[in-house]
Amino acid sequence: MGMKDIPLNERIILALDCESPRLAMEWVRRAESHVKFFKVGLQLFMAGWFHIVDSITSRGHKVMLDLKFFDIPETVGLAVRQLRDRGVAFATVHGNDSILEAAVREKGDLAILAITALTSFGEEDMRAMFGAPVNIEDLVLSRARRALEIGCDGVVSSGLEAARLRHELGHGLFIVTPGIRPGSNRETPMDDQKRIVTAGDAITSGADHVVVGRPINTAPDPIAVIETMQRQISAALAP
């Protein structure tokens, strides 16, 4: 499989990290002239349940439901089954082989994205979690390889690991990259994200989609930020 034919207005997945469905839909209406893909995370889903998903998809947009399912395999499988026929494009699952296998068995037309390592984690966080030094890039590649073998459609990973994933695993999986910032690390405060890149760098490295929240929704001119990132993406995709 070669490079995917993804419209520019679906390359950015706008994270609707909002406290209410009303505010989320204001952002959808504000951004939909430029963006057709939106992320619903745990906070918004708990506030709006499937109504917020339906409100977005009814406008012709795609939804990434980022709930990071993590539980015993049967429970995760049953949860994924609830997403069938909801118009959700991507759903995220966090866990070992048996958890991912359960999700894949129930996914239907839904694309399952396996979480590799959260972009808020750095080397010290991984050391504390595992009790020993961990090479994040090796860990991400190992988890991505297993997810692809199990039947997942893609992974969520930092742009710092995207190039190796694409080189090692080819174009047969989606790579969705959070931790996106408009400028360089020196220009942009990282807040709780530790492994960050620009939108253009992520796409150049092999990402299919970039997930962006705060750099857009805290900007004085959110549409200008979107347009800047889309120019970066277009340049990265140019022959």
Q: 227 with 1: CB under 8 angstroms?
A: no
36 classed as catalytic = no
Q: Collapsing DSSP states into helix, strand and coil, what is residue 114?
A: strand
CA 239 vs. chain centroid, Å, equals: 25
Task: Give the separation between CA 192 and CA 87, rounded to whole angstroms.
Answer: 31
Tokens of 218: 């805290």
Q: 44 with 18: CB under 8 angstroms?
A: yes
Task: Give the separation between CA 39 and CA 15, rounded to whole angstroms.
Answer: 5
Sign of the torsion formed by the C-alpha atoms of 81, 209, 47 and 85: negative
Burial of 120-135, coded b for 16+ CB within 10 Å and e otherwise, reads ebeeeebeeeeeeebe
List the one residue out of 54, 73, 76 whose CA is nearest residue 63.
Answer: 54
Q: Specify the residue for token string 């499988």.
A: 77
Q: Which residues pair with 113 in a beta bridge?
A: 92, 154
Choose, from 4, 39, 62, 68, the residue flagged as catalytic.
68
Q: Show which residues are catalytic.
A: 68
